[in-house]
Amino acid sequence: MRLSWLSIVRLGLVQMCLGAIVVLTTSTLNRLMVVELALPAVMPGLLVALHYGIQITRPNWGFLSDTGGNRTRWIILGMAALAAGAMLAAYGVVVLEARFTLGLLLSILAYALIGLGVGASGTSLLALLATATAPTRRAAAATITWLMMIAGIAVTAGVVGAQLDPYSSGLLLQIVACVTGGALVLTCLAVWGVEARVDAAPEAAHVPFREGLAEIWAERKARNFTFFVFLSMTAYFMQELILEPYAGLVFDYSPGQSTTLSGAQNGGVFLGMVVVGVMATGFKLGSLRAWVIGGCLGSAAMLGALTLLGQLGAGAPLTPAVVGLGFFNGVFAVGAIGSMMALAGQGRHAREGTRMGLWGAAQALAAGFGGLMGAALVDVMRAGLGRDATAFGTVFLIEAALFVAAAYMALRVMDRPAVRHEVLVPGE
């Protein structure tokens, strides 16, 4: 038995809940610390980096879900930890107003709990999708679950932003309680009974975690794919913190215009994800390997276009290039996630969760490292070159080179016959 389309959408609801809670901590609480509390921007930045760093535990959670034979339990427990962490983080913001040291300690504990919750729930969810989704549906499953996560982020950010005005600490706690409580209840309802109806329960592996992880690391394909994930996701996240400043400094965009530009980029990501899901699943057009390589090379081309437009300055058609970058980022993302699902089942039996955890840890570390490296390189280049367009353009070209390297690595790491078999064999 494999996951039906309805079951895939139900599991996508869990991704939506993950996105809804995480956006509170990375966006809403971030803004409150910097604007309302007038704290240095580096403080929420370090807290967000902490939640990414804690996700190095993802292989542990994947291993536990492999050996326990019950991924549903870890999905629910992880979501409960995430909800508790977000609630504590909101309370930490309130405490920061009166007692900075205590508020900071609460915030550190909260963001560590958030990282643990995302790692436990997200890894177990992806492992369940990887083991229970038919190969012909993996691209569509990746598209559905990630689009639902984006929807959760967008809807929550919009609704919370509207309800939080005028701001008060009591209103903040009420809103966060509603979001986290609703997400936990929806997660329980979404996953209830899904795993029991599919052939997804792994056999118990009675070995210590380090031995189990060493077994996976010894697999050349899993090890090489880990390097690919880190390299490609570093490139993916390098522009996250510098694109809007680029628009403002080089193209004279106002804050509202740069925010709109970011929305246009996310629209491109959405479109790219939909295209891959429809083409790979509906029309059986192209392997996941081909979509990954195309997404990487297309992203590199758009970054080159952004660099050239910077030499023209204000008035240059920046938005189409940014939408194009978002589109190819979306193509790459769905191809990569679908490939993770396909490769998770290749190798030693009953280790899908451990593999997904290993790749999830690489992705989380790359997200923190890529964003930080992009911002740091821009600062260095602006100080050394003295011209904003050249400084940002140089960083974009470095990012483009990383995408080209990732495309080459995908060509070598992702085996063509295996991937083609995973995507095109009907009836599985």
What is the spatial distance between Cα 146 and Cα 183, in angstroms, rounded to a whole number?
16
Average pLDDT on 84-110 reads 95
Q: What is the pLDDT of residue 395?
A: 93
Q: Which of 52-56, 388-392, 398-402 has the highest mean pLDDT?
A: 398-402
Print the SS3 string covering 108-139. Answer: HHHHHHHHHHHHHHHHHHHHHHHHHCCHHHHH
Q: Where are the domains of the chain?
A: 1-204, 206-428
Q: What is the pLDDT of residue 206?
A: 64
Both tokens of residue 299? Answer: 């992203």
Give 241-272 pLDDT, tens digit per residue.
788 788 888 998 886 677 678 778 888 888 99
Average pLDDT on 413-427 reads 49
| Fold (topology level) of 1-204 | Growth Hormone; Chain: A; (1.20.1250)
Quick one: 422 exposed, middle or buried, by C-beta within 10 A (0-12, 13-18, 19+)?
A: buried
What is the spatial distance between Cα 180 and Cα 114, in angstroms, rounded to a whole number?
12
Q: Which amino acid is at 189?
A: L
Q: What is the pLDDT of residue 256?
A: 64
Q: Tell me the average pLDDT of the chain.
A: 87
Q: What's the predicted TM-score (pTM) here?
A: 0.80
What is the spatial distance between Cα 180 and Cα 158, in angstroms, rounded to a whole number?
16
Q: What is the pLDDT of residue 166?
A: 83
Residue whose C-alpha is closest to residue 149's, from 18, 334, 328: 18
Report residue 184's pLDDT band, with 50, 70 and 90 as the boundaries: very high
| Phi/psi at 320 (5° precision) | -60, -40
Q: Which of 2-16, 77-91, 190-204, 279-293 has the lowest mean pLDDT?
A: 190-204
Quick one: 289 exposed, middle or buried, by C-beta within 10 A (0-12, 13-18, 19+)?
A: buried
| Fold (topology level) of 206-428 | Growth Hormone; Chain: A; (1.20.1250)
**Diameter of the chain by CA atoms?**
63
Both tokens of residue 416? Answer: 């063509």
Q: Do domains 1-204 and 206-428 have the same CATH topology?
A: yes
Cis peptide before 166, with omega less than 30 degrees from 0? yes
Give 293-342 pLDDT, tens digit per residue.
999 999 999 999 999 999 998 888 999 999 999 999 999 998 998 888 88
Strand residue runs (E) in 217-351: none
Q: 90 vs 70, 97, 116, 154, CA distance in Å? A: 31, 12, 17, 19
Share of the chain above pLDDT 90, in %: 46
Q: Are 283 and 275 in contact (CB under 8 A)?
A: no
What is the spatial distance between Cα 22 and Cα 20, in angstroms, rounded to a whole number?
6
Q: 415 vs 41, 95, 127, 348, 409, CA distance in Å? A: 44, 53, 21, 17, 11
Instruction: Indicate whether 418 pLDDT > 50.
Output: no
Packing angle between helix 138-163 and helix 288-310, nearest 10 degrees? 50
What is the spatial distance between Cα 2 and Cα 8, in angstroms, rounded to a whole number?
10
Report residue 200's pLDDT band, with 50, 70 and 90 as the boundaries: low
